[in-house]
């Protein structure tokens, strides 16, 4: 118990400190992303992986909090996926190699002994979808941090109930690390996770859901529990896929078409978007935890499914592509184009004059080289 408190506090402080320090070299070498006309460093994921991975490794090395087979395998695969994201942040990497890498990592961590081969064939593509759903939440300031903290704490409680102490410790350290990172990522963000951190968080949470469900399936917990724990992320991923399909865009082409972007166009402030999405994530994960603990019937998940369908169908009507989706201010009416200033008849136009000057109306000359 004491080590768990020390580990969480250490992950929080180390991640917050690394995120503050790493923004300086990121700005110096131009590893940034333009957000609302300002550069935001992208190396926050390195700070998160270093803080969470370092604390978890110390617990495994010292023997105070061994990760076990499940936690160690999940951490190693998550670090490998984070490496792919770092390559994307630094030099660029297309969608296909990243998707292949996430798929191979998912194949590595799925517990086939509990879920079987058929269950593993379903779990792998589901993990790939959820990981990329979490990645999509990483662009708006603070959203991935809040949703990740809520989900990680819920999963940690479920893992502790299944007496999977190593996995519970890893997820609690992840929640603490994300809390420390939020000190630098709360709107307006000073540091962003980038794809390195977003893929790391998404993979640990998606893999954690599969691991917890594998232990709980024998107790009569239905497949609705994993969906409830990741309902917000799944709804966002489905929204993006359907929206891009209807607009005949490439499915892997990024754009401002996620839930957070549409809520901004509806008039919410950046902080308001974080709060609303955090509350939605909290409501869904509470249902998932209640179903996992057998405090609620499995049919309670249908309320979450219905809410997700209503939200996706509603925000799907918000325009995000084309000229109609570029208002003068987010959430406001489109700004009309400024008409050109007509020239009055008979009024001479300024023309260059000899000697590098410009002749203005009335015979005045202006030196254009000063």
Residue 32 pairs with which residues in a beta bridge? 41
Give the number of C-alpha atoms closer than 13 A to the C-alpha of residue 173, restricted to the C-beta side: 32
For 322-366, what is each residue's pLDDT tens digit?
644 444 343 344 444 444 444 444 444 444 444 444 444 444 444
Cα 34 to Cα 27: distance, rounded to the nearest angstrom:
12
* Residues 301 and 224: beta-carbon distance below 8 Å: yes
Cα 351 to Cα 342: distance, rounded to the nearest angstrom:
17
* Residues 118 and 128: beta-carbon distance below 8 Å: no
Reduce the secondary structure of 100-141 to three states and give it as a string.
HHHHHHHHHHCCHHHHHHHHHHHHHHHHHHHHHHHHHCCCCC
279-282 contact pairs (CB < 8 A, 24+): 280/232, 280/311, 281/146, 281/147, 281/150, 281/151, 281/231, 281/232, 282/150
For 48-90, what is each residue's pLDDT tens digit?
999 999 999 998 888 887 888 889 999 999 999 999 999 999 9
Give pTM, 2 decimals.
0.84
CA-to-CA separations, 237 to 107, 137, 340, in angstroms, rounded? 21, 9, 43
H/E stretch holding 210 reads: helix 194-216
For 120-158, what is each residue's pLDDT tens digit?
899 999 999 999 999 999 888 999 999 999 999 999 999
For 12-46, what is each residue's pLDDT tens digit?
999 999 999 999 999 999 898 887 778 899 899 99
């Amino acid at each position: 118990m004491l080590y768990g408190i020390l580990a969480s506090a250490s992950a929080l402080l180390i991640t917050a400190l690394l995120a503050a320090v790493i923004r300086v070299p990121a700005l110096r070498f131009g590893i940034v992303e333009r957000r609302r006309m300002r550069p935001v460093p992208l190396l926050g994921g390195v700070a998160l992986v270093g803080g969470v991975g370092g604390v978890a490794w110390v617990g495994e090395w010292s023997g105070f909090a061994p990760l076990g087979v499940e936690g160690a395998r999940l951490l190693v695969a998550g670090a490998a996926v984070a490496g792919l994201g770092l390559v994307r942040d630094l030099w660029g990497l297309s969608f296909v190699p990243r998707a292949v890498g996430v798929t191979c990592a998912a194949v590595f961590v799925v517990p086939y002994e509990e879920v079987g081969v058929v269950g593993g064939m379903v779990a792998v593509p589901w993990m790939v979808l959820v990981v990329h759903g979490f990645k999509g939440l990483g662009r708006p300031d603070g959203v991935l941090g809040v949703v990740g903290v809520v989900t990680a704490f819920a999963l940690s409680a479920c893992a502790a109930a299944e007496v999977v102490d190593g996995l519970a410790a890893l997820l609690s350290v992840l929640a603490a690390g994300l809390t420390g990172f939020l000190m630098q990522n709360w709107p307006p963000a000073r540091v962003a996770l980038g794809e390195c951190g977003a893929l790391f968080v998404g993979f640990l949470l998606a893999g954690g859901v599969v691991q917890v469900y594998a232990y709980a399936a024998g107790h009569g917990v239905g497949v609705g529990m994993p969906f409830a724990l990741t309902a917000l992320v799944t709804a966002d991923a489905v929204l993006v896929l359907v929206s891009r399909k209807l607009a005949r865009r490439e499915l892997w082409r990024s754009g401002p078409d996620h839930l957070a972007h549409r809520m901004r166009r509806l008039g919410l402030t950046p902080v308001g978007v974080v709060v609303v999405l955090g509350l939605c994530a909290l409501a869904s994960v509470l249902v998932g935890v209640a179903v996992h603990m057998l405090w609620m019937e499995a049919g309670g998940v249908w309320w979450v499914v219905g809410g997700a369908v209503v939200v996706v169908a509603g925000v799907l009507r918000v325009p995000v592509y084309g000229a109609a989706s570029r208002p003068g201010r987010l959430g406001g009416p489109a700004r009309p184009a400024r008409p050109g200033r007509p020239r009055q008849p008979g009024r001479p136009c300024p023309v260059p004059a000899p000697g590098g000057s410009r002749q203005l109306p009335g015979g005045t000359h202006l030196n254009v080289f000063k």
